[in-house]
Structures are given as structure tokens and as C-alpha cells.
A and B are shown apart, each in its own frame.
Chain A
Amino acid sequence: AQSVSQHNHHVILSEAASLELGCNYSYGGTVNLFWYVQYPGQHLQLLLKYFSGDPLVKGIKGFEAEFIKSKFSFNLRKPSVQWSDTAEYFCAVNARNTDKLIFGTGTRLQVFP
């Protein structure tokens, strides 16, 4: 069965600090990978996704993620966070050609001015 692990449950940073959130998945086949963000009290919004091609994908708001197939990882990065990045971040995976999206447990990011 597929599973997704996000090891950082709660991250606290100051503005301008660099961010890296870990995401690892377990599945032997071809996968599609996603990062979603959920701002307080709001719905999930897509930050970025990887289907194929360049393993370094760029998303909205200056976020990027790198797919490392050998490590089954899809870590999210941002060089300089802002207070407005305070939110819950979810990594998600689905096996190619399936509808079922498996989410990680989420990472709560708090950015202080």
C-alpha cells in the first residue's frame, strides 16, 4: 500500500530564513507528486506538482520541489520565507493512472516577523 511521510510536523522560522520540508513516499511504481498548502481556515491550494520530466519543479509563491527517485523523496523548498507563508503544507502522491491521492500528515509552518 502507498504511504506518504512528512517528518517535520511543526516548523518555526523567522522571516527570510530558508525552508525545506521533507516528503517521502513508499510505492514501487510510477507516481505523480504534489504539494498543497492550506492557509488558516482555508481550503487546499496546489503549490506545485511533478508528473514527469525535469525533477526540479517550480511552483507558485517562490516554492520549488525536487523529485529524487532513488530516495523516494519530493522535498519542498523556499529560499526565503515570509510571514504570509504561515500555513499547513501537505505532500500527496498518487500512483500513475489512479484517482486515489494519498496525503502525508502535513507540516505546520509558522513564520515569525
Chain B
Amino acid sequence: DTAVSQTPKYLVTQMGNDKSIKCEQNLGHDTMYWYKQDSKKFLKIMFSYNNKELIINETVPNRFSPKSPDKAHLNLHINSLELGDSAVYFCASSQRAPEGETQYFGPGTRLLVL
């Protein structure tokens, strides 16, 4: 039973291309996130959606556009890929609760831009 899944697992592409990463969660959570982990393992939030509504939009180039067709899916589309976009992208989900929420992470998508 995969809780948070991402496709593809690996993505190798040329500079200037456009690519998408898909994320799905079967936990029934209402909030989903995208994180970027750089080569030094630093994790930084990029976006979060709650019930298909954009909640967090960090300082991310507008080449990155998240799309949430429903609350179980949050996709990330990247236009005009650059070398610096090479990283591991993690999707996560959580359920809002009064006491706090725990984020559960997907397996990651390793993006390499050549």
C-alpha cells in the first residue's frame, strides 16, 4: 500500500525542456506539498495546497507551476529546465488537525538536467 507515490522516480532531461512530476496520496489527506532537496541534502518547501487551493508559494521561479486537479493529486510542471533545477523533489501530504499535523513524504523524484 503506497501512501504517497510519485512518478517518475528518475528523470534525466536536457536544458530548456519542459517536464512534469506527478504525485498522488491515498491517505485521504487534505494538504499536499512539494519540497526540493539540493545536492547538500537541504530540504526546502516550494508549494503547499489545501483542498486544491494554493496555500504556500515560496520564492520559486515562475517556471515551476503546481497543479492540483483534486485533493489527492498535486503535480509539478517545470518549464525551460535549467541546470540548477537538478535536485530531488519530494511530495508530501498531511491532514489538518487542531493539535498539529504530520507530513508524510513520497519516495522522491531525482531530476537531472544536462
Q: Which residues of A contact B (CB under 8 A)?
A: 32, 34, 36, 38, 42-46, 49, 51-52, 88, 90, 94, 96, 99-103, 105-106, 108
Q: Is the Cβ of B44 less than 8 Å from the Cβ of A99?
A: no
Q: Is the Cβ of A99 less than 8 Å from the Cβ of B31?
A: yes
Inter-chain contacts of B45 with A (CB < 8 A): 100-102
Residue of B33, B56, B100 with highest tally of chain A CB at under 10 A: B100
Shortest distance between the CB of B61 and any CB in chain A (Å): 19
Residue B105 lies at the interface, judged by CB distance under 8 Å to chain A: yes
Q: Is the Cβ of A99 less than 8 Å from the Cβ of B48?
A: yes
Residue B43 lies at the interface, judged by CB distance under 8 Å to chain A: yes
Q: Is the Cβ of A103 less than 8 Å from the Cβ of B44?
A: yes
Q: Is the Cβ of B102 less than 8 Å from the Cβ of A99?
A: no
Q: In the complex, what distance in Å separates the CA atom of A46 from the CA atom of B44?
A: 17
Residue B90 lies at the interface, judged by CB distance under 8 Å to chain A: yes
| Interface pairs (7), CB distance under 8 Å | A32-B101, A42-B107, A101-B33, A102-B45, A103-B43, A106-B41, A108-B41
